Amino acid sequence: MSGLEFTVDWIGSASKHPEEAATACQLKITCDGEVLTRVEDLRSRSVRQWISVSAYPLALWFADNWWRLLGEPAKSENPRTDWRLAHELASAGHGYVWPKISMASDGGAVQITARESARADFETIRYIGNVYTQLPLASFEKSIAEFIELVLLRLAQFDLPDTDLHRLWSSVCQERADPRQEFVRRIEARLGYDPELAPEDAISTFERIAAEGGKGAAEEIAAIFSGDMRVELRVFETLATGPGIRATVPHARIERFGSVGGASPWEVGWSLAHWARETLGLLQPVLEDAKLSEVFAFSDAGVISQPHPAPPALLGLAVRALRDDSLRLTFRGWRRVSRRFELARFLCESLSAPDEDLWLPSTDAATARQKVQRAFAAEFLMPIQELKQVVGSEPTNEGIENAADLFGVSPLAVRSHLANNNLIARF
State residue 226's pLDDT score: 66
The predicted pLDDT at position 117 comes to 84
Sign of the four-CA dihedral 374, 380, 384, 388? negative
Distance CA 3, CA 30 (A): 8
Question: Using a CB cutoff of 8 Å and minimum separation of 24, what contacts does 151-159 make?
Answer: 151/23, 151/55, 151/56, 151/58, 151/59, 152/59, 154/10, 154/22, 154/23, 154/55, 155/19, 155/22, 155/23, 155/56, 157/22, 158/18, 158/22
For residues 357-378, average pLDDT: 95
The share of the chain scoring above pLDDT 70, in percent, equals: 92
Q: pLDDT of 136-177, one tens digit each?
A: 999 999 999 999 999 999 999 999 999 999 999 999 999 999
4-10 vs 24-31, strand pairing mode: antiparallel
Q: What is the pTM of this model?
A: 0.90
CB 217 within 8 A of CB 210: yes
42-99 pLDDT, tens digit each: 888 889 999 999 999 999 999 999 999 999 998 777 888 999 999 999 999 888 999 9
Task: Report the alpha-carbon distance of residue 168 to residue 52 in Å, rounded.
Answer: 25
Mean pLDDT computed over every residue of the chain: 89
Length of the chain, in residues: 427
Q: How far is CA 335 from the centre of its chain?
A: 27
Element (H, E) at 10: strand 4-10
Q: State how beta strands 109-115 and 131-136 pair.
A: antiparallel
Q: Are strands 125-127 and 39-41 parallel, antiparallel or unpaired?
A: antiparallel
5-31 confidence digits (pLDDT tens): 999 999 988 778 999 999 999 999 999
Q: Above 60 in pLDDT, residue 253?
A: no
∠ CA 74-80-83, rounded to 5°: 55
Alpha helices, DSSP H, located in 178-300: 179-191, 200-213, 215-222, 229-240, 251-254, 265-280, 289-295
- According to DSSP, residue 324 is labeled S
Query: How far apart, in Å, are the Cα atoms of 13 and each of 16, 20, 199, 296?
Result: 9, 8, 43, 68
Of 162, 223, 159, 157, the residue nearest 366 (C-alpha): 223
**109 DSSP β-pair partners:** 136
Sheet containing 100-105, strands listed edge to edge, beginning at the edge strand earlier in sequence = 100-105, 109-115, 131-136
Q: What is the rounded CA–CA span in Å between residue 391 and residue 386?
A: 9
Q: 79-88, 190-199, 201-210, 253-262: which range is least confident on average? A: 253-262
Check residue 88 and report its DSSP letter.
Answer: B
